[in-house]
Amino acid sequence: MFSSSRRDADWGDRDGRAPLLLSAFIWSAVSSPWSVVSSPWSVVSCLLLSFAYSFFLKLLYPTSVSVLLILAAAILRKREKLSRFLLWSAFAVLMLCGNGWLVGAMTRHLEWQNLPANPVPQADCILILSGGLAARIPPRTTVEVSEAGDRVIYGTFLYKQGKAPLIVCTGNVATGGLALRPVADEMAEFLENQGVPKISIVTETGSENTHQHGSNLQKIFRDRSIKRVLLVTSAMHMPRSLGVFKRSCPDVVFIPAPTDFRVTERIPAPWYRQLTALVPTPAHLLLFSEAMHEYLGLAYYRMKGWI
């Protein structure tokens, strides 16, 4: 069985939140490693590229594909056969991508490749990849857990279990994302709120994607003589991230410590209850999108030679 996703979005409101969003846009632009902010045009171009990436990525979601097919059918309604084909295609996309059995199988294939060791072994540090936190933006009074927040919670748990004396938080603003400060800083604040001493936390704030995590952490590992790392990330993301780190840091042993499992062992239920998986739901469609993102990411990273 699998659970629904926990989504959280920071929207500007009509009562003075616009400057906050503008600051977020500017931070996203100037903090990007490929941006050169020597002129206003550089900032504008970075903003446009960030928006384009985010926009076109959303067009790959099943719901977006279905909407585009329906719009095309409406525009081409005078071509009856083609219009009917487009409508049926939109229906097929929703039924296929929203099928709980298919989505569960796709997700399980990713998540169960690197199951956690029992017991979890000792290491030199706990590496938590960015994601899963909501920034301390009013009316929030502190950093909060959102999607994939199990990463930082599980990392805290491992530290308090004495599995490693150090936690490394890595991540800037994700490509196409918006934030007021690097995600690694949000993670560090959350860890301190949970009782982890500041001296036991190291942040890396230059990475915007999984490939950059591997490249940017080499110096930290080398300077601190880190040879064994507990790699904490969402179970679905583990195959790609583990492949990246093994390629980028061959002298370091990475021990997968996955969390945020979406597919678990099934709880016995009557056969007719399982038939509900045939009904497309927002949770199924969202999970399909996330799984496809990982499959496409794996294919792209292999093509680039990053894993």
At position 239, the amino acid (one-letter code) is: P
Provide the whole-model pTM.
0.81
Same domain for 159 and 43, yes or no, is no
Same domain, 133 and 228: yes
Burial class of residue 265, CB neighbours in 10 A (0-12, 13-18, 19+): exposed
Distance (Å, rounded) from C-alpha 148 to C-alpha 224?
28
Asked if residue 179 is part of any domain, the answer here is: yes
Tokens of 270: 């009557």
Q: Domain check: are 51 and 137 in the same one?
A: no
Residue 284 in any domain: the answer is no
Residue 95 lies in a domain: no
Q: Which of 218, 233, 256 is the last residue of a domain?
A: 256
Give the separation between CA 178 and CA 232, rounded to whole angstroms: 23
Same domain, 51 and 151: no
Full residue range of the structural domain in which residue 195 is found: 125-256
pLDDT at position 38 is 45
Q: Is residue 82 part of a domain?
A: no
* 48 and 132 fall within a common domain: no
* Domain assignment present for 102: no
Residue 189 resides in a domain: yes
Which residues pair with residue 232 across a beta bridge? 128
What's the CATH number where 143 sits? 3.40.50.620
Q: Is residue 74 part of a domain?
A: no
User: Do 33 and 136 share a domain, yes or no?
Assistant: no
Choosing from 213, 231, 256, the residue where a domain stops is 256
Tens of each residue's pLDDT in the chain, 307 residues: 444 434 333 333 333 333 333 333 444 444 444 333 445 666 566 667 666 767 777 777 899 999 999 999 999 999 999 999 999 999 999 999 999 999 999 999 999 999 999 999 999 999 999 988 888 889 999 999 887 899 999 999 999 999 999 999 998 876 556 667 889 999 999 999 999 999 999 999 988 889 999 999 999 999 999 999 999 999 999 999 999 999 999 999 999 999 999 999 988 878 778 888 889 999 999 999 999 999 999 999 999 999 9
What pLDDT is recorded for position 25? Answer: 40
Q: What angle do CA 306, 288, 56 make, to 5 degrees?
A: 65
Q: How many domains, the chain?
A: 2
DSSP string, 88-119: HHHHHHHHHHT-HHHHHHHHHHHHTTSPPPSS
* Cα four-point dihedral sign 207, 211, 216, 217: positive
Q: Which whole-number Å values give the CA distances from 27 to 2, 32, 70, 139, 286, in the listed order?
A: 36, 8, 37, 21, 28
Domain assignment present for residue 89? The answer is no
